Each structure stands twice: as C-alpha cells, then as structure tokens.
Chains A and B, each alone.
Chain A
Amino acid sequence: MSIVANTFSDVLSSEAIYQSMIRFAVILAFAAVGEWVAERAGTLNISLESFMIGGAYSAAVAYGVWHSIPAALAVGALIGIVVAAVQAWLSHWLTIDQFVVGLTLNILVLGLALFLDTRWAAKTPVPKPTQIPLLHRIPLVGEALFGQPWPMLLIIPLIPLAWWLLFRTRWGLEIRSVGDNPQAADVSGIHVNKRRRQAILFAGACAGLGGGVLVLGQVGINGYEAGHIGLKGIIAIAAVIFGGWTLRGTVIGCLVFGYFFAFQQAKLVDINPQLNASLPYIVALAVTAIFARRTRQPRALAQPFIRGLT
C-alpha cells in the first residue's frame, strides 16, 4: 500500500509528468474542441481519427518542403478540412450512415498516409520549446504550461473561439439547434444539413491542426510516424462524452485522458506492461460508462436528417 502511495506522490510531484500530460492533453483538446462543435450539431464523428492522421502526415510533408512551421500547420488544417469535407458530404448530403463513412475514412486515410509515405517521406524538425519569460519558472507546472513549443499555444485562443462561435453567434445558435431538434430548425428556415456539414468542416480544421501540432510542435515526439495518432481521435470523442457535451467538461476530459497517457508513457508504476499500455483506453471506457448516462446529450446526436422522414 505504501508503495502505491509513494508512487502516487511521485506521479503528482514530477515535473516531467505534468509536461507530458499537457502535451497529450493539448493534442486531444484540438480534436475534442472540433468534435464538440460537430457533436453539438448532431454528428458523432468517428472519422476524427482520420482528420488527425491526414493533418499530421500532410503537415510533416509540408514542413519537409517549405521548412516553415506556420505553413505546415496551415496545410495540416487544410487537409483536415478536405478529409472532413468527404465525411460531411457523404453523411449529410448523401445521408450515408455516418459511422460507416467514418470507419471507411479512418481506414482510407491511414492507408493513404502509409502508402504516400513510401514516396514522400515526412520530415519534421526537432521542436524547440518557447519559454515564456518568468512564468515558465513557476515550480512544478511552469515548464508544462509556459515552456512548450509555440504551436501548442494555439489551443489557448481556439477554445474561447469555439465557445464564442457556438454561444455568441447566430451560426452557433443554429448549430446547436440542428443538433437538438433538426425538424424544428428546418421549419424555422435553417438548412440543417448545411450547418452540420459546416460543423464537421470546423472539426476537420481543428483536428487537422491538432495532427500538425503533434508532429511539429512536440518535444519528445521527434518526427512523424504512421502510428502516432493511435486512436487519439477516439479518445477525444470519449473526452466530449466525459464532458457531458459542454466545452468546459470536454477540456477537463482532455486533461484527464492526457494525464493517463502521460502516466502510461512514464511507466512510473510497476504494473504489468499490457495493463499499462491499455490503461488510457480502459479509463476512457470507464468514464464514458459513468458519464454517458448522466449528462444530457444533443438530442439528435448521430441521427441523419432527411426532410419529411420524421
């Protein structure tokens, strides 16, 4: 018991684990913020994974061509939008089942990234941390919050931006209404499927950017590898569910899952390796099991909208 207590205090007091937790949490947050918007519009986007893979690979390749991080991140976001457009039009124009489309896209984009990688190999820089003066010297969490490479800081404007878009604009009101009651939204003159498509495109941009940040702006990742995303898109969806479809909860969910990824990576606790490796996924299952029921989800989540059908 004391061993457990000791390691637990190690885990809480280690500066490295906070840094690694923030790294994971930020990547999850990029995807989860986008997914949150898409889910509020009524789409459960399992292709979030493919947006991230597309963003990560294309950003890495773009960096190899231009050697410019901002340009590479822009390419990542753009490819995220392109992949998202496929999902959006197939699921909310042709009204093919969104899970089927999402699953197929996940396989397609992973295959494409693997295949194209043999011809255009991804090249990435060794990211340099950007230390914000004074603040990064705060003990324990200073380096984690204020000493990371700058692309990760993009999450800071993104979260309030998403909140503002959804709760302070006409567009956001319409997004929320098509997620909760598409029939009512439809009769009040909102183009339901168009709004849903736009929400997915937003998710694509966010997740693509997240993929780009993963390969370009993270100390300790060192380059692009095909398996880097490794179900992070799905974990991001779990974070949205954990957060009860609120933005605040989603961000907290990202931090929680980020912590478990860091915990897994640091191998601080002496448990068997298989359990350690599957820990974040088990935690994701457990928390969705706890929270999926309690919270109020968008009422039309994962339902296609076809006018006149219901």
Chain B
Amino acid sequence: MNAPARRSSAGIPSRSSARRAAVVVGLYVGCVVAALAVAAALVAMTGGPWRKVLSALLDGSLRNPGRWGTTLLEATPLLIVALGVIVATRAGLVNIGQEGQLAVGAAAATWVAINFSGPIALIGVFIAGFLGGALWAGLAAVLRYWRKVPEVISTLLLVFIAAQFTGWLLSRSFLLMHYEKGVMNQVQTSKQLDPATRVGMIRVAGNSFPWTAVAAVAAAVAVGVLLQRTRWGFRLTMLGHNPRTAQRIGVPIVLAGASALMLSGGLAGAAGAAMLAAGAGGYTFTPGFSNNVGWEGLLVALVARNRPLACIPVAFVFAMLRTGSGFLSSTGVSRSIAEVVRALLVLAMLVPPALLALRERRQGRGIAAVVTIAEPLAVPVQVAQ
C-alpha cells in the first residue's frame, strides 16, 4: 500500500519519490486532522467547549495520576481483539462478531475461574476464554463453509445471540450465577474471581497495569511472525488474495479458512478472559460485560490497516478515548462523541490509501494496489475437474 514511501527509503531518495512520500504523509495527516476537526466542530455545534473536551480526554487518559496505567489496562483487550481481526482478514474473511466472541469467551473463562482455583487455573481461564471465542466463531465457520452463509451476516447476528446466551448462563445458578441465600432479587452476576485466578499487576510510578499488557504486545509480534513467516500464514494470505489460485495450488480452503476464523474468535475470547482476570466488572462476569471492546478492537485493526505491530499504538489511542471519555461528564458533553471520533478516525485512515491507489490507476500505472480485503464471497471456488 505504501509502496512509494517504502521504495524511497531504500538508497538515496530521488526528488520525485521524496515528493510522493510527502504526498502520502500529507494525505494521512490531512485526513486525521480533518476527522478531528469534524469532531471538534460537532462539539462546538452542540454548544460544548471543545478545548475543555480535549483537555478532559487527556486528563482522563494520561495526565491524571494513575491514568496511563488504566489506559494500558484498557488497551490490552483491544489489542488482542484486533490481532484476531487481522488473522481473519488475512484469509479474506470478514469477522465482525468479536463483541459476541469476547462475551462467550469471558463466560467460559468465568466458569473455569469459579470452579477451579490455583495458579494453573489462571492458565485454564485463558484457555477456556480462547476456546469459548473459537467455538462461537466456529459456528460462523460451519455456516460459511457448509451452508455458504456470508460470515459478515452470521458473525453479526451471533453477537446479539451471544448477549442473550451469556445472559441465560448468568441466570442459572448451576452455570454462572452467584446465588446468594436469603436474597429475594438475585443479581445476575457471577461469583467474584478469587485472588489466585487474577493476573498480577505491574506497578510503575503510581500506575498499575496487568502483565497481560506485556503478553499482548508479545502476541502482536507472534501474530506478525505467524502471518509473515510460516506456511500457514502464507496460505492464509494466498487465500485472502485469490481463493481460486490458492485452491489450485493446493491450499485446503475450508481448513485454512475455518482455522483462521476460529483463531480470530479465539483471540477475541482470550481478550475477554484477559479483561475478566484483570478486573473488568470488578472481577465478575456481568450482563453487558463486553462493553463494546469487541467493536472497538475491530476498529483498531481497521485503523492499523491490518498490520499487527501497528495495532499496538492504535490500541493505545483507542484506549485513551475509552478512559478519557469517562472524564467528559464534567464538560457536559455526551460520551458518545468518543464513538464518533473513533469512526471518523477509521474513515480518515481508510481514505488516503484508497485515494492514492485511485490516482495510480488514473495515471495509468496499472493496478498497483487493490484496496480490498474481502474474498469474493459470492463466487464458489470451482476447480476444473
């Protein structure tokens, strides 16, 4: 995508390639600034003080004591979810059901956490989270490869079903509900995790964040290696670019696609386990536990343009919006502005590469880059018999 910029970095940049790089950078900066300006204009239009909004966002996310640790805490599941998105996208699958996969993963993790204890149980919590998410995404994979249901639709519908499903799990005391004797109206939450199954916190200068944050960064590297340097990753990439060629070369389409979708869901589920073990919901599983982390993680991957390492800073910025928007109430501006900013940022990052590709096509440089990630889902892969 950034071919011009990359080409210029090798050797001495010629004048034209330097200019091209400047255009690329300028376009990105321009688009992001435009997105933020639109958001500021929206705040101003509704009569809010946009300077105060910005300052409250920064206070809540970085400046106040202990806040950047909280932001790191929030960034961790976002990053893990985003890595899962990238895996599916690489295979040309559009998994947009992370919100549900995360909830089911967290529910599975909760079940392990309240039924077992000890340090091994903590590992079990993460494995259960992964499996829960993977199975939920597996439903979409089955529908995709057996019944040809577009995974865009099925994963999305499964988000809603997951919310009800986890709600049902919480309404049954033999599953997840914490039943308290003598209480008339049982609150539908799980039992609190005992300290042995919580992740440890790293404390730096008055900030504390879980070690899962470090693990998530390692996972980003691992996913990058997996996709770039392994046979499986290469097959996925081929499948994503051209399923027909991939099949003719001998990539097991169903196996590769389904495993990508399940790994994708599994990472979302593991993110749910990480949230739970790091204290989301007060170490309990509650209805609405996923709290939009799945959706936002999805956006992180879009902004990072499906590069695992780029997800790390983007996840942090999105976590800043999460933690910062909690401080907005003092300014009287609705928290939902954070949602608008997020979506605008995504658009701002999508437009420049597409514009550049369009310009290349217009200038007759051939099809330098195709801005597409979706496998043509309508066309069944047919092999000449």
Q: CB within 8 Å of B: which residues of A?
A: 44, 46, 90, 93-101, 103-105, 107-108, 110-112, 114-116, 118-119, 231, 234, 237-238, 241, 272, 274-275, 277-278, 281-282, 284-285, 288-290, 292-293, 297-304, 306, 308-309
What's the count of A-B pairs with C-beta under 8 Å?
169
Q: Does chain A have a CB within 8 A of B181?
A: no
**With A108-B343, A292-B149, A308-B367 as contacts: A278 and B96 at CB distance below 8 Å:** no
**How many residues belonging to B are interface residues under a CB distance threshold of 8 Å?**
58
**With A110-B339, A274-B168, A299-B379 as contacts: A104 and B149 at CB distance below 8 Å:** no
B150 near A44: Cβ-Cβ < 8 Å: yes
**With A95-B354, A292-B150 as contacts: A108 and B160 at CB distance below 8 Å:** no
Q: Determine the distance from Cα of A300 to Cα of B164 in the docked complex, in whole angstroms.
A: 35
Q: Determine the distance from Cα of A284 to Cα of B158 in the docked complex, in whole angstroms.
A: 10
B334: chain A residues at CB < 8 Å are 114-115, 118
Q: Does chain A have a CB within 8 A of B350?
A: yes
Q: CB within 8 Å of A: which residues of B?
A: 42, 45-47, 94, 96, 143, 147-150, 152-154, 156-158, 160-161, 163-165, 167-168, 171, 295, 298-299, 302, 334, 336-340, 342-344, 346-347, 350-351, 354-355, 357-358, 361, 366-367, 370-374, 376-379
Closest B residue to A116 by beta carbon equals: B46
Closest B residue to A113 by beta carbon equals: B336
B47: chain A residues at CB < 8 Å are 119
Interface centre among B149, B154, B165 (most CB of A within 10 A): B149
A307 CB to closest chain B CB (Å) equals 8
A309 CB to closest chain B CB (Å) equals 6
A96 near B42: Cβ-Cβ < 8 Å: no
Interface centre among B165, B167, B338, B374 (most CB of A within 10 A): B374
B157 near A284: Cβ-Cβ < 8 Å: yes
Q: Determine the distance from Cα of A104 to Cα of B345 in the docked complex, in whole angstroms.
A: 10
Q: Determine the distance from Cα of A272 to Cα of B167 in the docked complex, in whole angstroms.
A: 11
A285 near B154: Cβ-Cβ < 8 Å: yes
A100: chain B residues at CB < 8 Å are 94, 302, 350, 373
B378 near A299: Cβ-Cβ < 8 Å: yes
Q: Determine the distance from Cα of A110 to Cα of B295 in the docked complex, in whole angstroms.
A: 13
**With A95-B354, A100-B350, A303-B379 as contacts: A107 and B367 at CB distance below 8 Å:** no
Q: Determine the distance from Cα of A114 to Cα of B336 in the docked complex, in whole angstroms.
A: 6
A257 CB to closest chain B CB (Å) equals 12
B167: chain A residues at CB < 8 Å are 274
A186 CB to closest chain B CB (Å) equals 14
Q: Determine the distance from Cα of A119 to Cα of B47 in the docked complex, in whole angstroms.
A: 8
Q: A107, A118, A238, A241: which contacts B343 (Cβ < 8 A)?
A: A107
B46 near A303: Cβ-Cβ < 8 Å: no
Q: B45, B156, B165, B374: which contacts A234 (Cβ < 8 A)?
A: B156
Q: Knowing that A108-B339, A288-B149, A299-B379 are A-B contacts, what are 4 other residue pairs whose CB atoms are under 8 Å apart, sorted by A's residue number? A: A104-B302, A115-B340, A238-B157, A292-B149
Q: A99, A107, A119, A274: which contacts B94 (Cβ < 8 A)?
A: A99
Q: Determine the distance from Cα of A105 to Cα of B347 in the docked complex, in whole angstroms.
A: 9
**With A94-B358, A97-B372, A274-B167 as contacts: A104 and B347 at CB distance below 8 Å:** yes
A272: chain B residues at CB < 8 Å are 168, 171
Interchain residue pairs A-B with the least CB separation, the first 3:
A111-B339, A108-B343, A119-B46
Closest B residue to A279 by beta carbon equals: B164
A297: chain B residues at CB < 8 Å are 378
Q: B149, B157, B337, B339: which contacts A231 (Cβ < 8 A)?
A: B157
A277 near B164: Cβ-Cβ < 8 Å: yes
Q: Determine the distance from Cα of A237 to Cα of B153 in the docked complex, in whole angstroms.
A: 8
A-B contacts, 17 listed (Cβ < 8 Å): A44-B150, A103-B96, A104-B302, A104-B347, A107-B299, A107-B342, A108-B343, A112-B340, A234-B157, A274-B164, A285-B157, A289-B147, A299-B378, A300-B376, A302-B374, A308-B367, A309-B370
A229 CB to closest chain B CB (Å) equals 13
Interface centre among A103, A277, A290, A299 (most CB of B within 10 A): A103
Q: A93, A105, A304: which contacts B372 (Cβ < 8 A)?
A: A304
B350: chain A residues at CB < 8 Å are 90, 96, 100-101, 104
B157: chain A residues at CB < 8 Å are 231, 234, 238, 281, 284-285
